[in-house]
Amino acid sequence: MNDLRQMTALGRAIEDDSFAIIDREAGPHDHDRAEWEVVRRIIHATADFEFKWTTRFGNDAVARGCAALRAGAPIIADVKMIVVGLNAARLASFGCTPHTFIDDEDVIARAKAGATTRAVESMREAHARGLIEGGVVVIGNAPTALLEIVRLHREEGVTPALVLGMPVGFVNAVESKEAIMETAIPYVVTRGRKGGSTITVAALHAFMHIATGDLR
């Protein structure tokens, strides 16, 4: 399924015009064509050209992430806002199912009992269900979720196919992104304090475009 069939001709023209403006105003950069598709869509979602410099890719993230999507890998999000923002038809065309456990009662109870965060326990729940290994982890809100992915990788050998590590904030946001960059996990991060659910949704939609060969 070509997900762009959902757009009207006018909608496509407006998006194309927006991308042309972004390309013109962004100027030179060090991203390849596929990486730029991700960065450009982040800029499109935020009107913030700083992401041209702060968005970083590692460990063959684009190729491995797209392969995971084509294989129908599960999508694990730290918050429901990400799941709500994703295009269900596009995901279904790949056979991918989104998951988030942060509001599950047992997750909340374990977080309270263990004096940790719901985000940490939600990643542990996803791991217990066998979703993290080979899955696509999308984190836009909780640095502790990203740090838990790093811990699972280092201590238990768990390796997602892709991590979009873009939590926003002031406590551990910077540190969690730097930590994932020191692992062997394929990653895309927005270095610094900026991030958020909107950005991760834009990035994942970009990966879906790349995976269908719809690069512009």
Residues with catalytic function: 44
Whether 65 and 136 have beta carbons less than 8 Å apart is answered as: yes
Whether 54 and 194 have beta carbons less than 8 Å apart is answered as: yes
| CA–CA gap between residue 197 and residue 203 (Å, rounded) | 10
| CA–CA gap between residue 138 and residue 127 (Å, rounded) | 14
Give how far Cα 4 sits from Cα of 23, 69, 82, Å: 20, 17, 20
| CA–CA gap between residue 200 and residue 139 (Å, rounded) | 7
Dihedral (C-alpha) 102, 105, 106, 107: value to the nearest 10 degrees? 20
